[in-house]
Amino acid sequence: MSAFRLHNTGDQVDLQTVMTILLQVLVGGLSLGVLYAIVALGYTMVYGVLQLINFAHSEVFITGGIVGYFVFHALQDSSMNGYLKLVLACLAAMIVSGALNVVIERLAYRPLRGAQRLVPLITAIGVSLILQDTLKFVVGLTGMFDLSVTLPKGFTSPLTKFAGIDITSLNLQVKDVILLVVATLMLIGLNLLVNHTRLGRAIRAVAHDRQTAGLMGIDSNRIISLTFLIGGALGGLGGVMYAMKYQALNAYSGMAPGMKAFSAAVLGGIGSIPGAMLGGIVLGWVETLLGVVSLFSALPGLHWLSYIKAEYKDLGGFLALILILFIKPTGLLGKSSTEKV
């Protein structure tokens, strides 16, 4: 975190520097948060329709990242427009991850539909492990363990101006803004889909009561497949965004962010779509803030903050989760519902 530096002149701390750091947290946390949010949606939508925690989603997510790597790699020397390359990477990742998620549901979860809840849960963990090793094999074909992503030219350039205002101090690169814009558009699109279309109404109906939905003419298996398709595609897109943000990934990279995205879904209230979005953003902010909070130890009376090192940011995220669940067990936007039998 050498990017952040606070001018400490005795007890005099530069207020403007503090504001800059907070602004960096706001923007950086938001871009991390929307990334968590689009992955969290995959967990929450599947939970909504099946009351199943799809542990394989972290692999579905990183599959998207790996597909993204291959697309960027294949087009490395092409003179194609960088944004077009990105669009292709996103489309390919969304198709592969979406299809993968549908296949997982069809083969692993649907045959267990009538079983008690623990059975598909254990299956989900099993699918996650199988996918990890499959991905390791696929990544291994490149002869490397860690893939380093070559982004199109210009994506890593620093941003200096926005609407005529100098924003060099925000420490942003073009790719951060791309991530923010793409993910936000996806969240808005999904909201429209769920709240204002027939498919969305059908998804909400199946989530509430599969049998009644069926008696209103809705083929719930079809809706469940489509939910896995949408959740998987969002996960795949998240994978490309992850690959773009960190520019390095391997077959196991899905686990940590997957876990956090899942936490974000729980934080926002599992099963709630706006909850997953809010949970992701809150988690992104908390984590980012904790990553830089030690810098404020230069402020008078806050020297103890120097003990909160950036390495503890994950811990902080999960502490926030526990704290919020302690106060509101159903999550930020979760509704308390009676257990359905």
Partner 1 sequence: MSLLDVQNVTKTFGGLTAVNDVTFQVPERSIISVIGPNGAGKTTFFNLITGIYTPDTGNIKLGGRELIGLRPDQVVEAGISRTFQNIRLFPSMTAEENIMLGRGVRLKSGYWDAILRSSKFKHDEQEAVDTARLMLDFVGLSKWRNELSTSLPYGDQRKLEIARALATTPKLILLDEPAAGMNPRETEDLKALIRAIRDELGVTVVLIEHDMRLVMTLSEYITVLNYGSKLSEGLPHEVRNDPAVMEAYLGRGTAAGEYGKEAQA
Q: Which positions lie near partner 1, rule CB under 8 A?
A: 193, 197-202, 204-205, 208-209, 211-220, 226
Residue with Cβ nearer partner 1 (110 or 313): 110
Nearest to 249 by CA among 90, 85, 88, 65: 65
Structure tokens at 180: 């923010």
Residue with Cβ nearer partner 1 (93 or 295): 93
Least distance in angstroms from the C-beta of 201 to partner 1: 5
Nearest to 231 by CA among 34, 68, 69, 47: 47
Distance between CA atoms of residues 37 and 44, nearest Å: 10
Structure tokens at 107: 């083969």
Distance between CA atoms of residues 92 and 198, nearest Å: 26
Least distance in angstroms from the C-beta of 270 to partner 1: 15
Least distance in angstroms from the C-beta of 330 to partner 1: 15
Residue with Cβ nearer partner 1 (79 or 337): 337
Residue with Cβ nearer partner 1 (48 or 284): 48
Residue with Cβ nearer partner 1 (78 or 212): 212
Least distance in angstroms from the C-beta of 193 to partner 1: 7
Nearest to 67 by CA among 251, 231, 227: 251
Structure tokens at 166: 């100098």
Residue with Cβ nearer partner 1 (199 or 325): 199
Query: Directed axis angle between helix 220-246 and helix 82-104, to 10°?
Result: 140
Residue with Cβ nearer partner 1 (134 or 212): 212
Whose structure tokens read 């936007």? 333
CB 249 within 8 A of CB 242: yes
Least distance in angstroms from the C-beta of 59 to partner 1: 25
DSSP letter string, 280-295? HHHHHHHHHHHHHGGG
Least distance in angstroms from the C-beta of 271 to partner 1: 11
Least distance in angstroms from the C-beta of 60 to partner 1: 19
Residue with Cβ nearer partner 1 (141 or 215): 215
Least distance in angstroms from the C-beta of 240 to partner 1: 19
Structure tokens at 334: 């979760």
Residues with Cβ within 8 Å of 297's Cβ and at least 6 positions away in sequence, in order, are 303, 304, 305, 306
State CA 40 to chain mean position distance. 6
